[in-house]
Chains A and B, each alone.
Chain A
Amino acid sequence: QVQLQESGPGLVKPSQTLSLTCTVSGGSISSGDYYWSWIRQHPGKGLEWIGYVFYRGSTFYNPSLKSRVTISVDTSKNQFSLKLNSVTAADTAVYYCARLRGAGTRGWFDPWGQGTLVTVSS
């Protein structure tokens, strides 16, 4: 079965760029009608969808974060990545990668990675 694992720095300085990678195992990132997504959860709070990438490279972002977000895919490594620039303390959160499946806007997220805490602090 497909498994996802996030990796990247746990501490980022304000105004810098947060960079995370999600490695997909147990299946090809290029197979099927899946959209590879990033979701975050602020400490003690709810979930916020950040955006997704299709294996062919097309992307779709949360309009509230669109100006700062870039999601890309590397099919040769079975990975996809998140870059969030100009971070502030408000970007401190647990970041999850997840597979968006289902028919387009009817989609749901499954499975999820275990999540990685990123703290923005000097």
Chain B
Amino acid sequence: QSVLTQPPSVSGAPGQRVTISCTGSSSNIGAGYDVHWYQQLPGTAPKLLIYGNNNRPSGVPDRFSGSKSGTSASLAITGLQAEDEADYYCQSYDSSLSGWVFGGGTKLTVL
């Protein structure tokens, strides 16, 4: 059971918009700690997608965006493309556990 809760899977057709939620608690997201997102393509290492809740590293398309409110955060992907099919993970810090924590991951399927 991960500290940050994500839906196991989401899906969408090419061109559509999907969102992936990341629900935490008062000891992590709700305590004000930043949320970051990673994309893990099959058989590869995770890659930073969003940092500091809503910032994109250089090279990440603006189709990807992040937001945070209260004890939750969301990753939105617009203009879905086949190459977006991957696992997505959220990450934050948890003061009760004294460490960096991840969500359980969400598998995105492009129909």
Contacts A46-B2, A47-B46: A107 and B100 contacting too (C-beta < 8 A)? yes
Interface residue range, chain A: 20 to 34
For the complex, give the distance between the alpha carbons of A62 and B15 in Å.
40
Contacts A46-B2, A102-B51, A115-B45: A110 and B57 contacting too (C-beta < 8 A)? yes
Q: What's the least CB distance linking B107 to chain A, in Å? A: 11
For the complex, give the distance between the alpha carbons of A115 and B42 in Å.
13
Interface residue range, chain B: 20 to 34
Name the contact of A49 in the complex, choosing from B36, B38, B100, B103 (C-beta under 8 A): B100
CB neighbours (8 Å) of A46 from chain B are: 2, 89, 102-105
In the complex, are the beta carbons of B52 and A102 less than 8 A apart?
Answer: yes
Instruction: Say if the beta carbon of B111 comes within 8 Å of chain A.
Output: no
In the complex, are the beta carbons of B99 and A63 less than 8 A apart?
Answer: yes
CB neighbours (8 Å) of B33 from chain A are: 105-106
In the complex, are the beta carbons of A108 and B91 less than 8 A apart?
Answer: yes
Instruction: Say if the beta carbon of B108 comes within 8 Å of chain A.
Output: no
For the complex, give the distance between the alpha carbons of A35 and B34 in Å.
17
The residue in chain B whose Cβ has the minimal distance to the Cβ of A110 is B48
The residue in chain B whose Cβ has the minimal distance to the Cβ of A115 is B45
Instruction: Say if the beta carbon of A100 comes within 8 Å of chain B.
Output: yes
For the complex, give the distance between the alpha carbons of A30 and B75 in Å.
33
For the complex, give the distance between the alpha carbons of A49 and B4 in Å.
13
CB neighbours (8 Å) of B100 from chain A are: 49, 100, 107, 109
CB neighbours (8 Å) of B46 from chain A are: 47, 96, 109, 112
Please give 14 more A-B residue pairs, beta carbons under 8 A apart, in addition to A46-B2, A47-B105, A113-B45: A46-B103, A49-B101, A60-B99, A62-B99, A63-B97, A96-B46, A102-B52, A105-B33, A106-B93, A108-B51, A108-B91, A109-B91, A112-B47, A115-B45
A-B contacts, 6 listed (Cβ < 8 Å): A45-B104, A46-B2, A46-B102, A47-B91, A107-B100, A108-B52
- Residues of B near any A CB (own CB < 8 A): 2, 33-34, 36, 38, 44-48, 51-52, 57, 89, 91, 93, 95, 97-105
